[in-house]
Amino acid sequence: MAEPATATQAAAPAVALLKDELDIVIPTIRNLDFLEMWRPFFQPYHLIIVQDGDPSKTIKVPEGFDYELYNRNDINRILGPKASCISFKDSACRCFGYMVSKKKYIFTIDDDCFVAKDPSGKAINALEQHIKNLLSPSTPFFFNTLYDPYREGADFVRGYPFSLREGVPTAVSHGLWLNIPDYDAPTQLVKPLERNTRYVDAVLTIPKGTLFPMCGMNLAFNRQLIGQAMYFGLMGDGQPIGRYDDMWAGWCTKVICDHLGLGVKTGLPYIYHSKASNPFVNLRKEYKGIYWQEEIIPFFQQAALPKDCTTVQKCYIELAKQVKEKLSKVDPYFDKLADAMVTWIEAWDELNPTGAAVPNGKAK
Amino acid sequence: MSLAIKDDEIDIVIGAIHSDLTSFMNEWRPMYSRFHIIIVKDPYLKEELKIPEGFNLDVYEKNDIDRVVGSSTLGLFSGYACRYFGYLVSRKKYIISVDDDCLPAQDPKGFLVDAVAQHITNLTTPATPFFFNTLYDPFTEGADFVRGYPFSLRSGVKCAFSCGLWLNLADHDAPTQALKARQRNSRYVDAVMTVPAGSLIPISGINIAFDREVVGPALVPALKLAGEGKFRWETMEDIWSGLCVKVACDHLGLGVKTGLPYVLRIDRGDPIASLKKEWEGVKLMEEVVPFFQSIRLSREATTVADCVVEVANAAKERLGSTDPLFARAAKAMLDWVNLWKSVGSI
């Protein structure tokens, strides 16, 4: 049975890697009590709290954390009319945090995710593992059967071409969850008691050309390399769909990473996911997505970006164009979404004026 | 969800490059004793084979190979490649094949891993090559497809090939093992996953299982290095045939899985000595991988044998002039397909 680590078990690392280069973005509607458990690992870092829901409510942040907090009023004030691209009443609003950050790296985590234990009982410093994943290369062009070759105790296997062993820069590190797995509503309804107790001790690069379902619960990325692709779409209040925010961002991100020669890793670290959301509520949110996905996936699988799209912005604007062209016929929602994708880029550029000219794959 | 396969549909094929198989067979006895076993002796091994009692097996030696394929083709089955003869003469649907220097591994709880059972599970549950499942094999107990996985892709496709892994001596190439002389693989990764379509993988022949009827023709000892020897550091034939398998499976919509089961690979050999021989293979991969990445098979290739023929012709055309090794490999592939048609049961 998976259990979370207790607060006293989590020991702070001797060195907080990248503490001035990484922001932790947390969307919340309730409270941030969970931070208490993460304190030894998170305290050295700056937090960006994106408060969803009622802006008149005060969210209490535990003492000792360095943070900035934005509620809906702040988002509206900062973005003006462009605030329309940021979802309301859905954790998709977290992407506002990515936009407003000034750091090179982002780690985002849900407020119902606690510290997990590895099989030896040790508390897992998820942030440290994400950083290791992001700071070591990815290998998307040829599959290594021993998984991440840059991990201690591993390496490339026989037959792996030497010319591919330098790898490419890692743009995304996708972590996993023990206890409540990230299932869709139908699966939750059929298997309400299933818990993920399997600790798979691997990090691996998702091969080029392969799509995956990116979960935003435990995710880190190089904001400089891929930030503009991490738009979590139009979800929640007034939208016909929910629980596809991270999925949408993940498909856009993967297509762009494949195009620009950047890597996406998945696997460790695990966090302990404590709260099972209501499957009936989820079903209503996901319902249209389940059908639309059957059109969306082939769209992304076949999406081709022209050679002159050499920056993330250009790629993203081009994708938005293709979404409008090819997915509007599925539902008018995609027309709105395509427009929102463009608004997102405009808003990003406005808040990050020097970011507009970052060339592909070159981290500063 | 899973196909039911009977014990009598399986052959365990062992290529004997060591003469004394006593401890090997005895260690594997709990897992092997139910099944029919084919042992193929390396035709160039001089000593008599020592095999313990109590197994249901057939042993093939040099004169058997001679008789079936003719003495001119004998060289194809030297060293590690002798096992391919076993694939050829087997009459079963599924093959499980493990190197004779591998023993059952222990999982983190201390239990012996039944590699045979795990391979069978891998082959009898669907593969999911068109979309990556972040919880790995969705058909294993305690796991499922994650949110965002398209429903239309959840029935998966037939898994034609299962690649297992190795604890202790991992399958690194000679330069890597020479550099990290003391490194041993102690990480037990508790996962099976489908290798995505379009993604190539270096399939190590050390611990594999496959549907012989479907992919047999692609398992061909074609790429023989000039200095090929009796250590895995000195071979590339499995890597080449594995790439053929993957390309064919991708084309035909079949799946290839990797991960569990682990076997324990015994320390032997000297990577530095092997380096002198295998450097050739290491260089060749620089040509081999781009070649396989760029292959496009035609719509007319509807069986694995068809795919192998097309790959062989493309290899002759595009790589033949780079190194005569490739031209020989191409010929070996075509010969193999013919051999398969006449001796194998397609």
Among the listed residues A98, A112, A104, A36, the one whose alpha carbon sits nearest the alpha carbon of residue A70:
A98
Most confidently modeled range among A236-245, B125-134, B334-343: B125-134
Tens digit of each residue's pLDDT (9 = 90 or more) over B266-298:
988 887 777 776 577 788 889 999 999 999 999
Domain membership of residue B65 (yes or no) is: no
Structure confidence at residue A356 (pLDDT) = 46
Rounded-to-integer distance, Cα B48 and Cα B55, Å: 18
Structural domain includes residue A1 = no
Q: Which two tokens stand for residue A332?
A: 């008018």
* Residues A79-84: contacts with CB under 8 Å, at least 24 apart: A79/A347, A82/A343, A82/A346, A82/A347, A82/A350, A84/A340, A84/A343
> How confident is the model at residue B69, as a pLDDT?
87
Specify whether the CB–CB gap between B334 and B312 falls below 8 A: yes
Tens digit of each residue's pLDDT (9 = 90 or more) over B107-127: 999 999 999 999 999 999 999
- Spatial CB neighbours of A348, under 8 Å, sequence gap ≥ 6: A99, A227, A228, A313, A355
- Interchain proximity B147–A210, CB inside 8 Å: no
Backbone angles phi, psi at B322, to 5 degrees: -70, -40
Mean predicted confidence (pLDDT) in B6-34: 95
Residue B17 domain-assigned (yes or no):
no
* A15 belongs to a structural domain: no
The answer to whether residue A76 is domain-embedded is yes
Cis peptide before B261 (omega within 30 of 0): yes
In a domain, residue B224? The reply is yes
Average pLDDT, chain B: 91
Query: Distance (Å) from the C-alpha of residue B131 to the closest C-alpha of chain A?
Result: 6
Share of chain B above pLDDT 70, in %: 97
Q: Which residues of chain A have pLDDT under 70?
A: 1, 7-10, 355-364
Contact criterion met (CB below 8 Å) for A18 and A131: yes
Instruction: Count other Cβ atoms within 10 Å, centred on residue B226.
Output: 10
A158 forms beta bridges with none
CB contact under 8 A, A208 and B199: yes
Which residues face B59 on adjacent strands? B39
Between chains, do A209 and B196 touch, taking CB under 8 Å as contact?
yes
- B116–chain A nearest CA distance, Å: 19
Q: What is the CATH number of the domain that holds A295?
A: 3.90.550
How many Cβ atoms from other residues are within 10 Å of residue B182's Cβ? 5
Q: Enter the DSSP assignment of B232.
A: G
Whether residue A143 and residue B183 make contact (CB cut-off 8 A), yes or no, is no
Distance in angstroms (rounded) separating the CA atoms of residues B148 and B131: 10
User: What pLDDT sits at residue B274?
Assistant: 75
- What's the whole-model pTM score? 0.94
Sequence-ordered list of residues with C-beta below 8 angstroms from that of A241, at least 6 positions apart, any chain: A235, A285, A286, A288, A289, A292, A333
- Pair A87, A5: CB distance under 8 Å: no
**Alpha-carbon gap, residue B317 to B336, rounded angstroms:** 18
A95, part of any domain: yes
Domains of chain B: total: 1
Residue B179, pLDDT score: 87
pLDDT in the model for residue B226 = 72
What total of structural domains would you count in chain A? 1
**Are B142 and A191 inside 8 Å of each other by CB?**
no
pLDDT by residue (tens digit) across A116-163?
A: 999 999 999 999 999 999 999 999 999 999 999 999 989 999 999 999
What pLDDT is attached to residue A7? 66
Residue B150 reports pLDDT greater than 50: yes
* Crossing angle for the helix pair B271-294 and B304-319, to the nearest 10 degrees: 100
Residue A97 counted as domain residue: yes
Range of the domain at A162: 22-351
Is B271 within the bounds of a domain?
yes
Q: Residue B285 and residue A159: Cβ atoms within 8 Å?
A: yes
pLDDT of B278:
59
Label the pairing between strands B255-265 and B102-104.
antiparallel
- Amino acid identity, residue A209? G
Task: Measure CB to CB from residue B132 to each of A176, A201, A212 and give the nearest one.
Answer: A212
What percent of chain B has pLDDT above 90? 74
Strand partners, A156: none
Indicate the residue type of A72: R
pLDDT at A8 (0 to 100): 63
Per-residue pLDDT reduced to its tens digit, B77-111: 888 899 999 999 999 999 999 999 999 999 999 99
Among candidates B148, B171, B289 on the partner chain, residue whose Cβ is nearest the Cβ of A213 = B148
Cis peptide leading into residue A269 (ω within 30°): yes
From first CA to last CA, the distance across chain B in angstroms is 27
Q: What's the pLDDT at A325?
A: 97
Closest-CA residue to B269 (of B133, B201, B138, B172) = B172
C-alpha closest to that of B139 among B161, B121, B152? B121
List of E strands, chain A? 22-28, 46-51, 66-70, 105-109, 113-114, 170-179, 203-205, 218-222, 263-273
B interface test, pick of A110, A120, A144, A145 with most B CB neighbours within 10 Å: A145
Q: Which residue of B has its CA nearest to A251?
A: B148
Residue B158 falls within a domain, yes or no? yes
Contacts of A143 in chain B (CB under 8 A): 195, 199-202, 258
What digits encode the pLDDT tens for the residues B211-242?
999 999 999 888 887 766 777 877 888 999 99
For A29-150, list the strands marked E by DSSP.
46-51, 66-70, 105-109, 113-114
Residue A119 lies inside a defined structural domain of this protein: yes
pLDDT of residue B345: 60
Within a domain: residue B172? yes
pLDDT for A48 equals 97
User: What was the pLDDT predicted at B334?
Assistant: 93
**Which residues form the domain of B143?**
103-345
